[in-house]
Amino acid sequence: MTAMAGKGIIVIPVFNEAENIAGVIGEIRAEGLGLDIVVVDDGSSDRTRQVLCELPVQALSHPINLGYGVAVQTGMLHAVRRGYDFLVLMDGDGQHVPGEIPKLLAGLEEGADIVIGSRILSGSESYTIPPLRRAAIRFFSFLAKALGGVDIRDVTSGFQAMRRDVFSFLAREYPVDFPDAEVVVMLGLKKFTVAEVPTQFRRRERGISMYSSLGTVLYYPFKSFLASVIVLLRLFRERREG
């Protein structure tokens, strides 16, 4: 059982993870964290929906593929409406290690509003990041610090824990795709406390990552940079009008 006070939920957005999701859920339950689990199937074309029907989770499904960000937002809206106090966000491909969740929750207990599990900090060396991706992470971490004032080394990590005020805010405003740097900039500008802890990661063993195509590799940094600048300009406008 987790020592974190209140009612907690794990949100797992998935797309075509029929080969992985049952193992992920089994590993979470084996940890005995005492957290509810909701899996958001973002219009999968494989057997993901059928697999979820056989698992002890709350399952939500989009009729078509709407994007990672929308799937995350659906899970957050569910958590807001059901009155959860804190939320853990993780992937359904097996890369995030459920045994590391207590580290994220400990960061919340120490006062952070959102805690990001890092592949880069000392203590998380089990996962080797390819040079091109590591360079992209460094760029977006610089962007988050320059635009949002948040000093986080692994700004693209989707392994996170957050308080209700954070996911209530993000449930209203969340990017459709590749939200990494943009979300951190938004949270920094809204004065949420963002912390980072070293966590272990694993490589995907089955299935295809949404970041694997050449088009995505080229589009991802451009979109994230532009979106982060737009967030900054929008906040300046809100403050000026206020």
Q: pLDDT tens digits for 97-107?
A: 999 999 999 99
Residue 115 has pLDDT above 50, yes or no: yes
Beta strands 8-14; 114-118: pairing state: unpaired
| Averaged pLDDT for residues 35-47 | 97
Q: What is the pLDDT confidence band of residue 238, given thresholds at 50, 70 and 90?
A: low
Residue 24 structural domain: 8-241
| Averaged pLDDT for residues 162-179 | 86
Say if 80 falls within a structural domain. Answer: yes
Q: Report which of 122, 134, 126, 72 is spatially closest to residue 95, judged by C-alpha positions.
A: 126
DSSP class per residue in 149-197: ----S-TT---EEEEHHHHHHHHHS--SS--HHHHHHHHHHTT--EEEE
Q: What is the pLDDT confidence band of residue 230, given thresholds at 50, 70 and 90?
A: low
DSSP E strands, 80-145? 86-89, 114-118
pLDDT for 213: 42
Query: Which of residues 72 and 1 earns the better pLDDT score?
Result: 72
Percent of the chain scoring above 90 in pLDDT: 55
Q: What is the DSSP letter of 99?
A: G
Say if 73 falls within a structural domain. Answer: yes
pLDDT for 49: 96
Number of domains observed in the structure of the chain: 1
Residue 210 has pLDDT above 60, yes or no: no
pLDDT for 156: 82
Say if 3 falls within a structural domain. Answer: no
pLDDT for 155: 84
Contact 171, 163 (CB under 8 A): no
Q: Report which of 162, 209, 190 is spatially closest to residue 182, judged by C-alpha positions.
A: 190
Average pLDDT, the chain: 83
| Averaged pLDDT for residues 69-76 | 95
Q: What is the pLDDT confidence band of residue 7, given thresholds at 50, 70 and 90?
A: very high
Q: Which of 75-84, 156-165, 201-210 has the lowest mean pLDDT?
A: 201-210
Say if 1 falls within a structural domain. Answer: no
Q: Report the CATH number at residue 120.
A: 3.90.550.10
| Averaged pLDDT for residues 108-125 | 86
pLDDT for 146: 74
| Averaged pLDDT for residues 43-47 | 96
Percent of the chain scoring above 70 in pLDDT: 76
pLDDT for 137: 72
| Averaged pLDDT for residues 174-203 | 83
Say if 2 falls within a structural domain. Answer: no
Residue 55 has pLDDT above 80, yes or no: yes
Q: Output phi, psi for 7, to 5 deg.
A: -100, 120
Q: Which two tokens stand for residue 204?
A: 């995907």
